[in-house]
Each structure stands twice: as C-alpha cells, then as structure tokens.
C-alpha cells in the first residue's frame, strides 16, 4: 500500500489524495520532522555520562536511541525538548539548550 503514501505530497491534486487523508502504511511518523516544534534541545556532556540509560527509558518520544547497552546521539528530528531526560539524569550530564 506504499503507493497510497506516495500520493501524499505537496503537488498532489485533491483527486489523488487518499479518502479522508488516511495513511495506509505503518511507522510513517518517523518521516515527519516534529523536532522543529521546539528550539529547546538536550545537550549531552559526554564526559559526565555513565551510560545508565535512564534517559532512554523516560523519553516520551523514543528520541534517545540506544545500541546494545550504549546510548547514542539524541534524535533531534523528533525530540520535543520536554527536558525530562535532563531532570532524571543522576549525573547532571544533560543540559537543555535554547531556553
């Protein structure tokens, strides 16, 4: 059904869009850059981080990915800047930038 999703683009005439603007494909939210909704972003002081992964668990947007037992770079395309990660970090390793 990916063909339906391909219809949803900025040059599509109304006749070509899906009925009721339904999207017939899973996981498409990843393609939407919701990270631009905020100017506030977490900055990780790598030297302070002990890889406890608490931030990974509390992120409401799954915007702090991990690989094995290691946190990897924050997904700023989807981070909404809520700051929960900075609040729970036991080591003060995350600072919110852009306030």
CB atoms within 10 A of CB 14: 5
CB atoms within 10 A of CB 74: 20
Q: Which is nearer to other proteins, 24 or 87 (CB)?
A: 24
Question: What are 70's strand-pairing partners?
Answer: 67
Asked if 3 is part of the footprint of other proteins (rule: CB under 8 A), the reply reads no
**Of 3, 14, 46, 73, which one interacts with other proteins (CB under 8 A)?**
14
**Of 3, 13, 60, 90, which one interacts with other proteins (CB under 8 A)?**
13
Burial environment of residue 20 by CB neighbours within 10 A (0 to 12, 13 to 18, 19 or more): exposed
Distance CA 70, CA 66 (A): 5
Q: Which is nearer to other proteins, 9 or 39 (CB)?
A: 9
CB of 74 to other proteins, least distance (A): 24
Residues 16-75 that bind other proteins (CB under 8 A): 17, 19-28
What residues make contact with other proteins under the rule CB under 8 A? Answer: 1, 8, 10, 12-15, 17, 19-28
């Amino acid at each position: 059904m990916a063909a339906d999703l391909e219809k949803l683009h900025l040059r599509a005439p109304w006749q070509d869009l899906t009925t009721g603007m339904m999207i017939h494909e899973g996981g498409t939210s990843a393609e939407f850059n919701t990270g631009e909704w905020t100017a506030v972003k977490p900055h990780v002081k790598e030297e302070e981080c002990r890889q406890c992964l608490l931030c990974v668990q509390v992120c409401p947007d799954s915007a702090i990915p991990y690989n094995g037992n290691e946190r990897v770079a924050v997904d700023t395309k989807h981070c909404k800047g809520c700051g929960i990660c900075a609040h729970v970090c036991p080591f003060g390793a995350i600072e919110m930038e852009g306030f």
